Structure 1
Amino acid sequence: MSEWEVEIMSEPPEELLPQAVAYFRSHPGFKRLLDGLAEKYCKLGRLGGVVALEDLSHEEQTTLEAFFRRPLPGKQLRFPAGQFGRLLAETRFDGLDPVALLAAWRGGELVTRQERRDCAEQARQMELRQLLAEFPAPTCQAWLQAALDKEPDTRLVQRALVTDRDFARNMAAALRALTNLPERYQRLPVFARNICGDPHGLDMDRGAGKLFLEGLRFLRVRAGGNIGEASALSAVEERNELLYHFKLLRDDLLNFATCFGFAAYAGNGQEISYWRMASEAQAPLNVPLREIARVTALGPCAGPSEFLPERSRYDVFIVENSGVFSALLDEGASFQPLLICLHGQFKLASWALLDRLARSGAVFHYSGDFDPEGLQMAEKLLLRYPDRVRLWHMTEADYWLACPAAPLDEARLQKLASIRTPELSHLAGVIAEKRSAAYQEGILELLAQDIKRPLSASK
């Protein structure tokens, strides 16, 4: 009788298991097949799929042909894993559970991929629950519970739980920061030093910094933050403004706004004198964010010097380019127009200044270049201050007066397709059809005429 033919068993299956393991290990030709079967089980949670072996050795081919009781075609094997139990039942090891045999072959239990995932998930849940117990502040509790519930706005936390080896330490730092948010404006490096012992501990390229920013975003959204407003900003702008919303400043010196003609007031109603002095000297101001943070209200320098908490509406002219700003100042400094220059982009200081102006009664008249970037900036203003912004010489007629001649490549033309606001969509279509940009300098005389005579802030 062949060693693979069925015999009447005199031992129970559990006593056959060590004998079977010893036998298979004594025949090296089985190793790759049994390893492949074990891997299939771990991957699928069952004996399924096909085990593929290439370049069979002479020993493997001889051993496996005896087991299968048939010759193998060439040096390759494609073996359906589900047949292993049937073949085993035709041997003297009939009655053995094939999975138990494979587990013993591997020296322990076979852990399926799903079981590993379940175990890892339990560990992650335990980690979050430990943090819940450690950080009782309501802000932390809300964020951690949302992470436990796998809510959509906690995706970064879910990802960090899987990929960040230092998740517990980084998340704890982020939670300490959320627990101790400042009540007055504070520079981020100073805040990070107090929280982490490292001024760079909450930098945006650090694990703790990324989680902290995500926590702030979660808190702002749950508190009713304007999602549409945030979507109008670039990633850098959104990040800086988010920190600023929670009284944290990344850079309060090099981040500045350029303006002319304003009087500024501090929290006690006291006028901040150098703003008025600059206007009277017909000098523009590059005001750093740290100084704008002191301001609670603004108004026309040409108005009364005393603090007026409820001003009438007044006109503020905003231009995109510094050259246009300077030319307008040359034309109208003696009229003390209220001017702001954005320098081709929105800095946090500009947003901080505009927010204070909007609260103080300002109506914004914005003029930008007739190109994709100029229209995108105009749209950001319209989305953020929908009842405060008036487009200033940004019509189709103004575009033709500015003499469009600068060709636009395909990448820039694609930006025009993103313009959705009704006030700008027609102009965007005209520029796209012409495939040429025009610039503010082409309508400088029209802009200069307007700043010399008051516009109606109510129209």
Structure 2
Amino acid sequence: MKTEAILKAACSFFKSEEAYDKLFQQFRKKYESLGRIGGTVPVRLFSAHELEVIARFYGTTKQALVKKGVIHVVQFEKQLQETKFAAIGLKQLLDNYFDEEIISKKQRKEIEQQQLRSLLQELERSYPSLKDWFRYIQSVTKEKRWITRIVEKDFTYFHYLIKQVAKAREQLPSTPERLPMFSQRITADPHAFDIHTDLGKLLLEVLTFYHPTWPNNEVPQTTESINELLRMYGIYRDDLLNFVTCSGLQAQTKEGMLHPVWQAAVEMNSVQNVPLRDLLSIDRMFPASGKHVWVVENSGVCSALLDVLPSTPIISTNGQFKLAAWIVFDLLAKEDCIIHYASDFDPEGVGMAERLLHRYAPQLRLWQMDVAAYHKSNPVKPIDKERLKKLERMEHTTLLPLVKEMKRMKKAGYQEALVKDMIQDIKNK
């Protein structure tokens, strides 16, 4: 009998009993794991009836199989050679039984990686502006697994994404452009590059990779860092609701003249909520007098300070830093101003202080943010375990004594308790 006929007869025989199907499924898993015929299958996976069927194949009893505890895959192949199907091997039988070539997980992974390389090389030829990025994601497949999953699942869809991202990189704005307008210009859909979409996330990947100074090629995850990256390419997500509160600051336009609105605000001791839109036309920023600028996190504290000292050059970030605040800080740093920063004594506030210290040292001064000020704030609100973990990531030496004490007390303190001391600090300058 020819091999083909033997295989057909063997498959027919073993498919006649569900017990063999269950056994062969286990054999398949073993081969995929080991890459060879080998290993054992526990008898506890089978019912009493199924064990009786398998035992008959071995010419033994169900009780003998149960006593053994396992079924040896190699032993099954040897037993196969004692039957009328002796001309075929177990691997050959399994391939025909499942109607496909069974390969190991390692082989499958190698094949998938080769297919991925071929697909990316095809795109590399079509979109040379992304050539280096294509090669990069191949070298860090694990970290970029979400990208390769799209390639493997739907190459046509991934091709579409790449076409749009390549066009975006080739047609980056030459003057500031809002993200919806940029998206409309590139894709005809104002929401195509929204950051929660595959296309938006892929754009961030590419912009991060090609930016010459972005730290460690790490794709931004926070709203603050995403806005910062986009800004570096002249793209702005929101230029009206993204604002910072200022008072006592002068601004100079790109034409070299004092901005009349800022000038009037200084003359009237008026507070401005300045949107990102208006900051884009500013070339310089500096205190109306002196070199010191005071920065607080809380708008209530800012207002209390201005009640007593209305001409103070002061900024309120109103919580976490928005892009508007970063632009103001950058402009002040360019003028070599001394920036005094105060925040609440909680993990988020200390984290904000650390980011400023890393970015603006030596111009940044912590203001009422030492251990003594922490105790004076009368910290009473407990900080839960999850938030305390944020303190573990703090590494700036200036903050370490405060961080150590906050971890010990596990309580948060707030700026409002320190307003009198803050007023005296401003007067002393």
Q: Which interval holds the TM-score relative to the shorter structure? A: 0.7 to 0.9
Cα displacement (A) at 1:325:
1.1
Cα displacement (A) at 1:209:
0.9
Cα displacement (A) at 1:146:
0.8
What does the per-residue CA deviation read over 1:241-291, in whole Å, with 9 as the maximum and x for residues that have no partner?
111122111111101011012221232323322111111121111000111
Cα displacement (A) at 1:322:
1.1
- 2:308 is the alignment partner of 1:327: no
Which of 286, 292, 300 is the aligned partner of 1:299? 286
Change (3 A) 1:399 1:91: closer
Cα displacement (A) at 1:88:
1.6
Residue 248 of structure 1 aligns with which residue?
Answer: 235
Question: CA–CA distance in 1 between the matches of 2:88 and 2:221?
Answer: 64
Look up the SS of the partner of 2:398 in the other structure.
helix
Cα displacement (A) at 1:389:
0.4
Change (3 A) 1:433 1:153: closer
Residue 281 of structure 1 aligns with which residue?
Answer: 268
Q: Which amino acid aligns with 2:203?
A: F
Question: CA–CA distance in 2 between the matches of 1:12 and 1:337?
Answer: 97
Normalising by structure 1, report the TM-score.
Answer: 0.81
Change (3 A) 1:83 1:286: same
Question: Is the contact made by 2:38 and 2:72 (CA closer than 8 Å) also made in structure 1?
Answer: yes
- 2:410 is the alignment partner of 1:409: no
Which of 323, 333, 344 is the aligned partner of 1:348? 323
Q: Which amino acid aligns with 1:107?
A: D
Cα displacement (A) at 1:415:
4.2
Look up the SS of the partner of 2:421 in the other structure.
helix
Q: Which amino acid aligns with 2:350?
A: L
Question: Is the contact made by 2:294 and 2:339 (CA closer than 8 Å) also made in structure 1?
Answer: yes
Question: Is the contact made by 1:320 and 1:341 (CA closer than 8 Å) also made in structure 2?
Answer: yes
- 2:197 is the alignment partner of 1:206: yes
Which of 96, 119, 122 is the aligned partner of 2:114? 122
Residue 63 of structure 2 aligns with which residue?
Answer: 73
Question: CA–CA distance in 2 between the matches of 1:147 and 1:219?
Answer: 13
Question: CA–CA distance in 1 between the matches of 2:297 and 2:65?
Answer: 73
Change (3 A) 1:18 1:366: closer
Which of 252, 261, 265 is the aligned partner of 2:252? 265
Change (3 A) 1:190 1:42: same
Question: CA–CA distance in 1 between the matches of 2:260 and 2:139?
Answer: 53
Change (3 A) 1:424 1:43: closer
Percent identical pairs in the alignment equals 33
Q: Which amino acid aligns with 2:246?
A: C
Question: Is the contact made by 1:131 and 1:172 (CA closer than 8 Å) also made in structure 2?
Answer: no
Question: CA–CA distance in 2 between the matches of 1:30 and 1:435?
Answer: 62
Look up the SS of the partner of 2:189 in the other structure.
coil
Question: CA–CA distance in 1 between the matches of 2:142 and 2:126?
Answer: 24
Residue 359 of structure 1 aligns with which residue?
Answer: 334
Q: Which moved more, 1:78-87 or 1:40-49?
A: 40-49
Question: Is the contact made by 1:337 and 1:452 (CA closer than 8 Å) also made in structure 2?
Answer: no
- 2:424 is the alignment partner of 1:449: yes
What does the per-residue CA deviation read over 1:372-399, in whole Å, with 9 as the maximum and x for residues that have no partner?
4333222221111111101223334444
Question: Is the contact made by 1:56 and 1:75 (CA closer than 8 Å) also made in structure 2?
Answer: no
Question: CA–CA distance in 2 between the matches of 1:377 and 1:121?
Answer: 42
Q: Which moved more, 1:181-190 or 1:267-276?
A: 267-276
Change (3 A) 1:441 1:83: same
Look up the SS of the partner of 1:286 in the other structure.
strand
- RMSD (CA atoms): 3.1
Gaps of 5+ in 2: none
- 2:392 is the alignment partner of 1:392: no
Q: Which moved more, 1:77-86 or 1:145-154?
A: 145-154
Question: Is the contact made by 1:150 and 1:158 (CA closer than 8 Å) also made in structure 2?
Answer: no
Look up the SS of the partner of 1:46 in the other structure.
coil
Which of 214, 217, 223 is the aligned partner of 1:236? 223
Higher gyration radius (CA)? 1
Question: Is the contact made by 1:55 and 1:75 (CA closer than 8 Å) also made in structure 2?
Answer: no
Which of 118, 128, 131 is the aligned partner of 1:141? 131
Residue 37 of structure 2 aligns with which residue?
Answer: 47
- 2:122 is the alignment partner of 1:97: no
Change (3 A) 1:23 1:356: same
Change (3 A) 1:397 1:45: closer
Cα displacement (A) at 1:150:
2.8
Normalising by structure 2, report the TM-score.
Answer: 0.86
Residue 79 of structure 2 aligns with which residue?
Answer: 87
For these two proteins, the number of residue pairs brought into alignment is 423
Q: Which amino acid aligns with 1:322?
A: S
